[in-house]
Amino acid sequence: MDRNTYTLYLAYSVTELPDTSGKNLLNYIRYILENANIKVVESELYTNASTSEIVLPDKPNFYLVLMNEHNLIHNGWLREFELIHSLNKTTDKVIVIIQDDVTTDGKIDFSTAINYFEQKEKSNIPEPATAIKILEHAEALAKKQTLCIIKNNDRFAYSTIAAELNKKLRSTAKKGFSQKAKIYPLLGILFFIILMIMFFLSDFSGVFNFKTNATEQTGNQVTQVPKTARDSMAQAEVVIKQRKLEQDTAADNAAKLSQQKLESLNLAKYRIILENADNKLSANKYIEAKKLFEEALKLLDADYPKLKIEEINELLNAQKYAEMLKNYAILVEGGSFEMGSNDGDKDEQPVHKVTLKTFYISKFEVTVSQYRTFCEATGAPMPAAPSWGWTDNHPIVNVTWDEANEYAKWLGKRLPTEAEWEYAAKGGKHKSSYKYAGSNDLEKVAWHEGNSKNSTQEVARKLPNALGIYDMTGNAWEWCNDWYAENYYAISPELNPKGPETGIKKVLRGGSWFSLAKYCRIPYHSNGKVDFRYSHIGFRVAWDAN
C-alpha cells in the first residue's frame, strides 16, 4: 500500500489507559499500523482541546479511538470525541473504538453513562445534552458491530485487535490493500503469537524483561523460550521504545514552540488592544473602551483591564443617571439681582448687586432613592437613617458636605453657589419679591416646624416657585458650595461670586422641616462644618449651562 494513500487518525487518552496494558496496547497498535504502511496522525485526548488545537489529516481513511468506560461519563473527553468526529462528517470512514475495561458480559454499559448525564441535565448543566448524543451515537456504532471490544487485562484479546483491524482496513481500502492483504494479517498474527508468549510470561518476569535462559515453571513442567523468539521480542521492545521516545520528544518540542508563539502573539495583541482602549477612554468613548478592555482580558488575565472595566461601569452608571437627571433640571437664565437683606441678620448685609451666568439647578432636592443609587454604584455607605426611617421620595438627610459633594462629582456636577441658590429661589429673571421661595404664604410652599409632623416629607408636594423649583424653602436645609464668612457680602465681587477662598464652615440655605418661619426666609443662611450630619440637612445639585 502506498504510504501517502492511506491515513489513520489515532486518538487516545494516556491518562485514562492503564499504565501497563493500555500503553502496551497503544504501542502495539502503532507497530501494526507501521508495518501496514499506514500514515498515522495521533492526538492525545482528555486535554480539553479546542478546534484550533486538533489537527486532522485532510482525508483520513480511518479513525481509531482508544477509550475506557470512565471516559463515558467524563464531559471533557466526550466533548473532544464529539469535536474530532464533527471535523469530518464523511460517513464512509471507519470508526473503531477499543474498550479495555468493559463489563463482564463483554458489552459496553452505555445506559449507566446516559443515565448519569440525564441526571445532570436536570440541574441545567449545558454539557450533558451533548454528551448524551455522543453516547447514543457510540451505542449505535456498537450495534452495527463497528466497535472492537477488549476486556481489561485480557492478554490473548490482542489477537482480536489484529483480526478486527485487518478486517476493517481491508474492507474499507480494498484497492490499496489487495496486493498485500495476505501478508499483513500473517505478519500481525505472527507478531501476536510472540506477544501472547511475552504477556503470558510477564506475570513472572515483566512485559519486556527476559533473561537469556528465561523459563516458566508450572507444576513439574518447564517451557523453554527459544533464543530466536527472545531476540525478536527484545528487538521489538527497543524499536517500540525508541519510536515512542522520538514521537514524545517531537510532540513536546512542537507543543512548547506552539505555546511560545501563541503567548508572544497574544502579548503583542494585548498591548495594542490596551493602547486603543486607553485612547477610547481618554476620549470619553466609554462603551467602545469597555469592549476593548474585555477583549484584552480574554487574551491575558491581568488586573489592569479589570480595574478599567470597573471604572468604566461607574462612569456609565453616572452618565446614564446624569442623562436621566436632565429631566429633573431647571435652566436658570443668567442675569443680575439684589442679593441679601437689610432687614435681616448681620451676615445678610449689605444688599449688593450680583450678576450670574446661565446655569442649571435640580428641580427637586436629592432623594433617598437617588442617593442609594449612588451608593450602590460606588460602594459608598448609606448614612444612618433618621428616626422615621428611609422613604424613597423623601429628601436624603444625614449627609455631610463632603458626601454631598462626592455625589455631585459622581454625576459630573457640583453643589450650587450661595448666589446661584438665592437667585434661583427668588425666581431668576422673574425677580419675585416673595419672602419665601414661591409665595409669602409659608404653608403653600414649605414643610416647616409647624406642619411637618417632625420629619421630612415627600418632595414636590408643595407648590413650586416661579421657575418650577420645589422645596427651596423648608423640608431640608441645603448645602451650598461656598465657605461661610459673616462679613463676605461687604467684599463679594459682583460677577459670579463663589464665596471666600478658605473657611471652617460651609453655607446652608432654605430652612427645613425643623425650622421656624423666620429661618425659612430666602435671604437667611445658616452654616455647618463639612463633617456635620443632621436629620434636617440635605442638598440639591447644579451645573454650568455649557
The whole-number pLDDT of residue 58 equals: 56
Cβ-count burial of 304 within 10 angstroms (0-12 exposed, 13-18 middle, 19+ buried)? Answer: middle
Radius of gyration of the chain (CA): 42
pLDDT at 61: 60
CA distance linking residue 26 with residue 64, whole number of Å: 11
* Cβ neighbours, 10 Å, residue 397: 28
Maximum average pLDDT range among 63-77, 235-249, 491-505: 491-505
Residue 283 pLDDT:
84
Q: What is the pLDDT of residue 272?
A: 86
Q: Does the structure show a pLDDT above 50 at 397?
A: yes
Alpha-carbon distance 48 to 79, whole Å? 8
CA atoms of 229 and 222, how far apart (whole Å): 17
Q: What is the tens place of the pLDDT at every residue in 425-445?
A: 999 999 889 999 999 999 999
Torsion from C-alpha of 265, 266, 267, 269, nearest 10 degrees: 90
Q: pLDDT tens digits for 241-292?
A: 676 676 667 666 666 655 665 566 677 787 788 888 888 888 888 888 899 9
Q: Residue 537, class by beta-carbon neighbours within 10 Å (0-12 exposed, 13-18 middle, 19+ buried)?
A: buried
Contacts of 539 (CB under 8 A, 6+ apart): 365, 366, 396, 399, 404, 407, 408, 415, 476, 478, 479
pLDDT tens-place string over residues 82-108:
656 555 554 445 455 555 444 444 455
Closest CA to 477 of 447, 445, 438: 447
Where is pLDDT greater, at 408 or 122? 408
**pLDDT the model gives residue 28:** 66
Nearest to 504 by CA among 525, 524, 490, 486: 486
Q: What is the mean pLDDT of the chain?
A: 74
What is the pTM for the complete model shown? 0.47
Q: Return the minimum-mean-pLDDT range out of 116-130, 310-324, 412-426.
A: 116-130
Residue 328: pLDDT band by 50, 70, 90 thresholds?
Answer: confident
User: What is the per-residue pLDDT across 212-239, written as a single tens digit (0 to 9) for each?
Assistant: 343 444 344 434 444 554 555 566 666 6
Give me 347's grid cell: 451676615
Going along the chain from its start, the domains and CATH numbers come out as 7-225 (3.40.50.10140), 244-327 (no CATH), 333-544 (3.90.1580.10)
Provide the pairing of β-strand 335-339 with 477-483.
Answer: unpaired
Q: How many CB atoms lie within 10 A of CB 192?
A: 20
- 277 neighbors 308 (Cβ within 8 angstroms): yes
